[in-house]
Structures are given as structure tokens and as C-alpha cells.
Amino acid sequence: MCGINGIAFSIRSRREVSSDVLTRMRDILDHRGPDDGGIFVAKNVGLGHRRLSIVDVAHGSQPMFNEDRSCTIVYNGEIYNHFEKRKELGEAGHKFINRSDTETILHLYEEYGRDCVYHLRGMFAFAIWDAKKRELFIARARLGVKPLYYVYSDDGSLYFASEIKALLEAGATKAEVNFDALPDQFANHGTSGDETLYLGVKRLLPGHTLVWKDGKLDIREYWDVNFEPKDKCCTEREYIDEWLELFRESVKIRLMADVPLGMFLSGGIDSSAIAGIMSTMVEDPIKTFSVGFRELEANEFEYARIAAKRFGTDHHEITITPGQFFAELPNLVWHEDEPIGFIASVPLYFVSKLASEHVKVVLTGEGADETLAGYGRYAKTLQLLEFGKRYENVTPGFLRDAVRGGVS
């Protein structure tokens, strides 16, 4: 995890970026990247970066420049296919001076411009200042694992950062409630669109790019989930085999790191499956981490220990007391910038602190419920859709119209 931030002042604002303000923005994100930090300032544009060193630890400092220093990048994430892309770019004449995936993004931008995102496989949020075009290019990966927030002022100026607190630190906006976003917050435990709970603060949506040029914004979607069925028909066994191969590949590519790796192990299906696959791909025992409470009904240690023993992991545990739970809530709200929508954030915070004492990178089972329909609400949705079809078939149109009018 790294932290990025930046400022771009329009010509009509008649302002230049203060290195002090840019540095304050950057350093309030110190927890995202305690290993290194840097800034770049070119009159009305500035970029900042806090680094957690994972790939090419010795030579991956940011901001990073291309050969003629006409392009400057700050980046948060991991590009899993960057070795393959380095080979392609090298054959096209690009020169590399380090092994970082950051430099790969820079050369892809030089080669493809805004379309560079189509060549990236990974999780990312990055910003590139192109001095020749005098424009700032910002991109966020397809599923939005890495955050990116921004404030766009009336005079055309742009502030952006990995966390909202950095925007407040720069004075880009005040900490005022965005009342239009409250219904979304209450209904979904968080805001789901580009709006946040802070008035004037927006998030760049997943699968989108943003170009800023002298005060004008151009935001485009480059990817969205596609639910169209495949052309070919497969047996159930073939679908299972295909999924298993994709699962193995997904775990393998996420082991790309020059630092120690570990994983969060709850003992559930998701994390245990990852631990099982991961144990076949690394030489040393996996370092696994579990969190639990003293109350037995909220303690999954037994299941985690079974999985740890089965796969021969180097297992670590932490037990949270009620006092610790409530004592850390203010700290957690500060980290998340918005109200805690999911109480699982609290134990996740504690197990992350435990893991940080041993490793820099962890794999988790997060996202499996979304991709494999693991939540109860998915089954209920399917039931409701089926009930809806029956309702449409047996209820006359005039009666449906009357019901619809009464509901609305």
C-alpha cells in the first residue's frame, strides 16, 4: 500500500503549488507508505508520494520520471503482468533503468497514452503529469481496490489523494456534510457512487480515467462488468476446472513481491482455499494470521488452526478484548475518513497490525462472497426475481398498474 496526492492549478487561478502544502498532504498519508516519500513541483502542478516498498525495494522511489523527464508518475498498487509488458516495451525500443512496475506504467503511457489502462492487469491508482501535453492523467483499476478522491474547484483547480484527510489538510475543501449522500450511506453502509459524505469531495470510480488540462476535466469509463454469457457451452465439470485454473493463476500472480508475504486465515472456505493453493507455490511455510474475540460465538480460532495445521503454516493469532475494540474506534474512523459501515473493519485492523510485525504483503479471502454469491442477499434476490415473474404472469395489467401507483 502506498499513498499518492497532487495539486493542479488552472491558469486563471493564478496560483503556483506550494511544496509545503504538498508535503503536508503527502505526510498525513505516512501510514500508507512509511518507507519513503517524495514530491515533484512544476509551478502550477505538484505530485506527492508515500511508499511502501514491495517491488524493486532499492530503486523504486517516486515520483518517477521517464528518460527525458517529460512524464512524471505517482502510483499506488501492483501490476501483475508488468514483466511481460516490460519485454514487449523493450522490443519496441523503450529503455528501463529499474525493475519496478511503476516504470512499466510510465512506458505504457508513452506508448499508448490514455489507452495504457487496457494493457494493465492489477490493482492501481496512479497519476501522470505529461509536461509536453500540459495535462494530468489519472486512472483507477477495474475493481477499485486502490482508492482515489478528488476536489474540483470552481476556478478549475484539482486536488487529489488516496485519502480524504489529505484533501482537508491542503484546504481543498472544508469538512462539511454532503446531505445528498446520506440516504445512500444509511441504505448501503457507505456511498456507492462518485459522491462521498464530504461536500465537494468525489471519488474517481473504478474502471475510470480522468484527464485534467488547464482547468477542464474529462472523465471516461474504460471498463465495466460484463454479464454476457460465453459463446461456448461447457459441462459443469469443465466450468469447475476452468474456474480452478483461474483461481490458481490469481493466487500465483499475487505472490509477486521482493518482501515477505503472508495471509489472513479465518478457517473459512475462502481463506483456507487460498492457503491451500499458496502452500504449493512457496518454499517456506506461509505466515498466517487470525483474529478472534474472547466470546466463543465470535471466535473462529479452532477452524483457522485446523487449516494452519493442514497446510503447515507459521500461524499467529490475536485476541481482542471489548475494551480494545471500543478504544480503537476513534482511530479507525480517522483512518477510514467516513463512518465505519462494516463492523468487520475493527478485527481486520487488529489482525493487520499483527501481520505488519512479520510481513509487508498479505493475501486475503476478501471479495469471494461477491464473486461466488456467498451472501444471503443474493439468494433472496433470486427468489424475489422469481416471485416477480410469477406476479407478472398471474396478475392482470390494470391491477399491476394500480399497485404500482399506490406504491409510488
pLDDT above 90 as % of the chain: 68
403: confidence class by pLDDT, cuts 50, 70, 90: confident
User: Quick one: which of 50, 51, 30, 77 has its CA closest to 334?
Assistant: 30
Residue 407 has pLDDT above 70, yes or no: no
The Cα 133–Cα 72 span in angstroms is 12
Most confident of 135-139, 281-285, 347-351: 135-139
Is the pLDDT reported for residue 393 higher than 80?
yes
Among 347, 362, 344, 366, smallest CA distance to 292 is for 347
Average pLDDT of the residues in 309-324:
94
Q: Is 116 a catalytic residue?
A: no
Of 31-35, 158-162, 305-309, the least confident: 31-35
Mean pLDDT of the chain: 91
pLDDT for res 15: 95
Contacts of 311 (CB under 8 A, 6+ apart): 275, 276, 279, 286
C-alpha cell at 261: 508475504
DSSP 229: P
Of 135, 128, 114, the closest CA to residue 208 belongs to 114
Q: Which of these, 233, 289, 239, 238, lies nearest to 260 by C-alpha position?
A: 289
Q: Which of 2, 71, 233, 234 is catalytic?
A: 2
Which pLDDT does position 379 carry in this prediction? 85
Top pLDDT among 130 and 227 is at 130
Task: Work out the pLDDT band at 66, boundaries 50, 70, 90.
Answer: very high
Question: Pairing between strand 261-264 and 361-363?
Answer: parallel
Query: Using CA atoms, how far apart are residues 271 and 286, in angstroms rounded to an integer?
Result: 13
Tell me what pLDDT residue 54 has.
Answer: 76
Residue 204 phi, psi (nearest 5): -75, 120
Measure CA 298 to chain center: 28
Longest dimension (CA), the chain: 72
Q: Which amino acid is at 242?
A: E
Give 223-259 pLDDT, tens digit per residue: 998 877 766 778 889 989 999 999 999 999 998 877 7
Q: Strand ranges (DSSP E) for 23-148?
A: 36-42, 45-51, 64-65, 71-79, 122-130, 135-140
- Given a cut of 90, whether residue 377 has pLDDT beyond it is no
- What confidence tens digit (pLDDT) does each residue in 28-58 have? 999 999 889 999 999 999 999 999 887 767 7
pLDDT-based confidence at 261, cuts 50/70/90? Answer: confident
- Is-contact 242 234, C-beta < 8 A? yes
Q: Which pLDDT value is given to residue 257?
A: 76
Residue 216: pLDDT over 80: yes
Which stretches of 214-352 are assigned E, i.e. beta strand?
A: 216-221, 261-264, 287-293, 314-320
Res. 408: pLDDT tops 70: no
Task: Sheet containing 45-51: give its strands across.
Answer: 36-42, 45-51, 3-8, 158-161, 149-152, 202-203
pLDDT at 81 over 70: yes
C-alpha cell at 326: 471500543
β-bridge mates for residue 76, sequence order: 125
Arithmetic mean of pLDDT, 267-290: 93
Mean of pLDDT values over 200-213 = 98
| Distance between start and end Cα atoms, the chain | 46
Cis before residue 260, ω within 30 degrees of 0? no
Span 133-150, mean pLDDT? 97
User: Which of 93, 96, 53 lies closest to 76, judged by CA?
Assistant: 53
Is residue 198 classed as helix, strand or coil in its secondary structure?
strand
Radius of gyration of the chain (CA): 24
